[in-house]
Structure 1
Amino acid sequence: MNDQNPNEPFDELMRKALRDEADRIEPADALPEIRARAHSQRRPVARRPWLLTAGVAALGTAAAVGAFTVFNGGQNTANDGDAVAGPGTTATASGVPQSRTPSVTKASPSPVPATLPPTTSPAVKTAQPTDRGKPEQSVSSAVVPVYWLGQQAGVPKKSAARLYRTWSKVSGRPAEEAVRIMTTKQPQDPDYYSVWRGAAVNSVTRSDGVVTVDFKQLPKTTLDADLASVATQQLIYTVQGALADDSSAVQITQQGRAGQKLFGQVDTSAPLGRAQAADVQALVWITSPGEGSVTSGKVTVQGTANAFEATVNYQLTNLKTRETKTSFTSTKEGQKFSPFSFSVSLSPGPWQIEAYLISDADGSITNTDSKTILVK
């Protein structure tokens, strides 16, 4: 660059210098090197240095606020769903042998999204396959929880219901099959029921902390607000239990479209989270023996209850001779879901086992579960 004129404007000198430097460079295929450099510079978000630009920081803040708005509703949540009932089990809707432990792996506990949709819901949109995420892996065999409704005793409203869990053996995609059982099968226990008749599940997919349950057809039944809320939780508990994931919110869609009014009451335009177990789950249930079991004369009854002063009452009635046995037992802890058990010798014949809670205020029965067995 010795031939440059010092009187030329600075910009022109710079342009000449750049042209001279470019003439010395021999072009080469640098794409592999560029890709290698880019790959080596990738880091997880958590390891990024603190010197972020203002634009990136603002974007992160907006995303966090948006997520909080979608998943944080007015109702508290609890990470206490499938664990509260312990390892016991009841009879299954599909009539398979009872299993004490589900075959799916339990996810680590994590914060749970809001139970109810936010008061301001996003506009109804059509979800594309990429929005719904990836389908579950298909398995040859798994034991999954399926939740049903049961009438709550001691409550004047006929529509007062609680969730009761059973186990079912499935093959294929566990959560999808669990929903299919919940919507099309009859529970073996005649005290349980479902209001999801007429619904037809299409797929269950997962993406970014949201599980999308897409239906070909949602149930057309209109329920009162309280029963509709518990029935919605029936689906959420079943899906999360089958996935062993009680932290992911559940988006309900019909043919890929969100925003339908489920049971004429529940807004499905936003993902829904798990309600407190104490608000929707049966406060006492018998987990063993299962409905219709055939046993010997020495029977051990197991269950779980959220009982005042840890007291669970029970009565066993021989349905043929009307012989009765009445007493009570204790849960391991009071005022929270905790296991109980008792053993009793029974004469041959059909027996009904009832476990129930009594109100400390007026002595009335507030919650109950029953099983009918045959003693040989």
Structure 2
Amino acid sequence: MRRGPARPGRRARLAAALAAASLLATGCTTGIRNHDDTVMPTTAGAQSTSLVTSAPLETATAGQTIPVYWLGHSDSSVYLYREFLASPTTDEPIVASLEAMMTRSPKDPDYFSVWKKPSRLGASISAKNVITVDVSSDAFSQTVDAGIAQRAVAQLVYTATAAAAMAGLINPDSTPQVSVLVDGHTGYKAFGQVSLDNPQTRDPSLLAPVWIIDPGNDSTYHALPLKVDGQGISPTGSLTWSLAKVVDGKAGRVQQTGTVKIPKGPDQFGPFSFNLVPPLGTYEISVFITDPSAPGGKVGVDSKVVTLAGPSPTPARK
């Protein structure tokens, strides 16, 4: 969850996300909550101001999840954030991830997507590391501005390359490209804004400067310590974290705070990890870049709500 322009409360956002999920059968877009999700903030142009300058591929894994990138507001821009969703057992991995991106709802209600359910979707990979995605034009029927359209296309590129990389379908030593066909043809203007003339690669400037990968939002844990993993970048090579107790669905007073180093160092996008041992309860974990130019200033805030419920009950012996 991010802290940027004034946004609805978490309960309202969660209710909206659940309501949107019920529209799956009709093919409506699942991630849009309000007008803010179809336009870039008025204080920002179409270009991102992210500190991220490289976008490493995911590593191959045999896990039962698929990667999906979503859009999310942060500060005065919109960035890409990744989640892992349960994997369908029958679909080809790239198609499965893209279909989830276009039809399913994010686990974190602060994420969103402007894609709509396509009537047709396919994908293939060439020997030259080019992923070709062929999608029907109805996937682009949401009305958005140029900034959101640019990010939605990047969302597809990131999701397709992540799925291919995790499935071991591409050569990780060369940069994968994604060619997008619409109804079998090149040159379509996505969302009426972005021309799909040439193969595209990952644009690192659109990655969120900070995001929490684990724990997932609204997850419950039965053992301590609670391990927090994520990715981020900072001019100092350190990020700040805070832990606030959640009462009646709202984050209250910050109870713990600290810093965590990004092992790759200053101005290098990379993983971070730290452990927490708070009392049992429900908390909002936030990680962000401290803004030295403003007292208490925070940049790129990402937050997750997690419940620490103590040990699971031991099953009774028969």
For the Cα contact (< 8 Å) 2:145–2:193, is it kept in 1?
Answer: yes
Do the aligned residues in 1 keep the contact of 2:72 with 2:79 (CA within 8 Å)?
Answer: yes
Deviation at 1:225, TM superposition (A): 2.3
Cα displacement (A) at 1:173: 0.3
Q: 1:189 to 1:370 in 2, by over 3 A?
A: same
Any idea what the Cα deviations from partners look like across 1:224-270, whole Å, max 9, x if unmatched?
A: 22222221111001101111147232121222122221022110122
Decide whether aligned partners of structure 1 residues 78 and 352 sit closer, same or farther in structure 2, where only a CA change above 3 A counts.
Answer: closer
Q: Quick one: structure 1 residues 79 and 365, their matched pair in 2 at CA, closer, same or farther if it must change by over 3 Å?
A: closer
Aligned to 1:57: none
Of structures 1 and 2, the larger Rg is shown by: 1
Question: Is 1:167–2:84 an aligned residue pair?
Answer: yes
1:285 aligned to 2:208? no
- What CA distance in whole angstroms lies between the structure 1 residues aligned with 2:176 and 2:151? 18
Listed one character per residue, the Cα deviations across residues 278-301 of structure 1 (whole Å, up to 9, x for unaligned) are: x01111111221222212353221
Over the residues paired in the alignment, what is the CA RMSD in angstroms?
Answer: 2.3
**Would the aligned equivalents of 1:297 and 1:348 in 2 still touch at CA under 8 Å?**
no
SS of the residue aligned with 1:309? Answer: coil
Aligned 8 A contact 1:221 1:264 in 2: no
Is 1:149 aligned to residue 71 of structure 2?
Answer: yes
Deviation at 1:79, TM superposition (A): 6.3
Q: State the distance in 2 between where 1:198 and 1:186 align.
A: 12
Instruction: List per-residue Cα deviations over 1:312-336 (Å, max 9, x = no partner).
Output: 1111111129452222222112211
Gaps of 5+ in 1: 1-76, 88-100, 104-140
Q: State the distance in 1 between where 2:119 and 2:268 align.
A: 36
Contact 1:78 1:274 in 2 (8 A): no
Name 1:368's counterpart in structure 2.
301
Deviation for aligned residue 1:354: 0.7
> Structure 1 stretches (4+) deviating beyond 4 angstroms?
none
Residue 278 of structure 2 is aligned with which of 332, 337, 346?
346
C-alpha contact 1:297 1:347 (8 A) present in aligned 2 = no
> CA-to-partner distance for each residue in 1:13-62, whole Å, 9 max, x for gaps?
xxxxxxxxxxxxxxxxxxxxxxxxxxxxxxxxxxxxxxxxxxxxxxxxxx
AA of the residue aligned to 2:161: Q
Structure-1 residue corresponding to 2:47:
none
Structure 1 Cα separation of the partners of residues 308 and 54 of structure 2: 38
SS of the counterpart of 1:102? coil
Give me the TM-score of the superposition, normalised by structure 1.
0.59
Tell me the CA shift for residue 146 of structure 1.
1.0
Equivalent positions of 1:293-332 (< 5 A) are 293-295=219-221, 296-320=223-247, 322=252, 324-332=255-263
- The structure whose residues are more often helix, as a share, is 1
Distance 1:346 1:297, change over 3 A: farther
Q: Residues 339 and 202 (structure 1 numbering): CA distance in 2 closer, same or farther, change over 3 Å?
A: closer
1:226 paired to 2:226? no
For residue 106 of structure 2, the aligned residue among 154, 178, 187 is 187
1:213 matched to which residue of 2?
Answer: 133
Does the CA contact (< 8 Å) of 1:304 and 1:339 recur in 2?
Answer: yes
CA deviations on 1:164-200 (whole Å, 9 max, x unpaired) are 1112323220000100000000011111111112444
Could you list the runs of 5+ residues in structure 2 that have no partner in the other structure? 1-51, 310-318
Distance (Å, rounded) in 2 between the aligned partners of 1:313 and 1:175: 35
- 1:102 paired residue among 30, 46, 61: 61
Provide the C-alpha distance between the structure 1 equivalents of 2:231 and 2:164, rounded to a whole number of angstroms: 22
What secondary structure is seen at the aligned counterpart in 2 of 1:308?
coil
TM-superposed CA distance for 1:81, in Å, is: 2.9
Counterpart CA distance in 2 for 1:182 and 1:161 is: 17
**TM norm structure 2:** 0.69
Q: How does 1:78-157 map to 2 (within 5 A)?
A: 80-83=55-58, 102-103=61-62, 142-153=64-75, 155=76
Work out the number of aligned pairs and report it.
Answer: 240
